[in-house]
Amino acid sequence: MKADPSGVLTGAHYLDGDYSCGEGAMAAGCRFVAGYPITPSTEVVERIARRFPFMGGTFIQMEDEMASMAAVVGGSWTGSKAMTVTSGPGFSLMMENIGLAAMMEIPCVVVDVQRGGPSTGLPTMTGQGDMMQARWGSHGDYEVIALSPQSPQEAFNLTIDAFNLAELYRVPVMFMMDECVGHMTEKVVIPKADEIEVVPRKLTKKSPAEFLPYRFDGGSIPEFARVGDGYKFHTTGLTHDQRGYPVMSAECQEWNVHHLIDKIRLNVDKIVRFDEEQTDGADVVLVTYGITARVARRAIAIARKKGVKVGVIRLIVVWPFPEKRINELAGKIKAFVVPEINYGQMVLEVERCAAGKASAILVPHGGGGVHDPEKIADVILEAAN
Partner 1 sequence: MNDKDVIVPVGEHPISPYIRMDRMPHIWCPTCGIGTVVKCYATALEETGVDLDKVAIVSGIGCTGRVAGYMKLDGFHSTHGRAIPFATGLKLGRPELLVTVFSGDGDLVGIGGNHFIHAARRNMDLLIILVNNFIYGMTGGQNAPTTPLTAKSSTMPFGNFERPFNLPHLAASCGATYVARWTCLHIRRLTKSFKEAIDRKGFRFIEVIAPCSTLYARLNKLGSGFNLMQFYHDSAEIRHGADTHEVDIGFQDKIICGKFVDEERPTFLEMKDEHYKKTLGDKYIPMPPEGGWIKNG
Rounded to an integer, what distance in angstroms lies between the CA atom of residue 153 and that of residue 15?
9
Residue 349 one-letter amino acid: E
Q: Is the peptide bond before 320 cis (omega within 30 degrees of 0)?
A: yes
Q: How far is the CB of 212 from partner 1 (least distance, A)?
A: 12
Closer residue to partner 1, CB minimum distance, 26 or 350: 26
Closer residue to partner 1, CB minimum distance, 152 or 222: 222
Rounded to an integer, what distance in angstroms lies between the CA atom of residue 70 and that of residue 50?
23
Q: How far is the CB of 243 from partner 1 (least distance, A)?
A: 8
Which positions ≥6 away from 354 have C-beta within 8 Å?
Answer: 326, 327, 330, 336, 360
Closer residue to partner 1, CB minimum distance, 227 or 301: 227
DSSP labels, 320-358: S--HHHHHHHHTT-SEEEEEESSSSSHHHHHHHHHTTSS
What's the gap between Cα 79 and its chain centre?
21
Contact yes or no for 91/99 (Cβ under 8 A): no
CA dist list (Å): 16 to 116, 185, 227, 342: 19, 4, 36, 23
Closer residue to partner 1, CB minimum distance, 94 or 173: 94
Q: Sort strands 58-61 and 335-340 into parallel, antiparallel or unpaired.
A: unpaired
Q: How far is the CB of 52 from partner 1 (least distance, A)?
A: 9
Contact yes or no for 341/117 (Cβ under 8 A): no
Q: How far is the CB of 26 from partner 1 (least distance, A)?
A: 12
Q: How far is the CB of 34 from partner 1 (least distance, A)?
A: 7
Q: How far is the CB of 162 from partner 1 (least distance, A)?
A: 18
Q: How far is the CB of 82 from partner 1 (least distance, A)?
A: 7
Write out the residues near partner 1 by the rule CB under 8 A.
1, 4, 6, 29, 31-32, 34, 53-58, 60, 62-64, 66-68, 70-82, 96-97, 99-100, 199-203, 226-238, 245-246
Which positions ≥6 away from 357 have C-beta within 8 Å?
Answer: 327, 330, 331
Residue (of 182, 110, 125, 116) closest to 149 by Cα position: 182
The CA angle 127-61-123, to the nearest 5 degrees, is 20
Closer residue to partner 1, CB minimum distance, 97 or 133: 97
**196 DSSP assignment:** -
Q: How far is the CB of 88 from partner 1 (least distance, A)?
A: 21
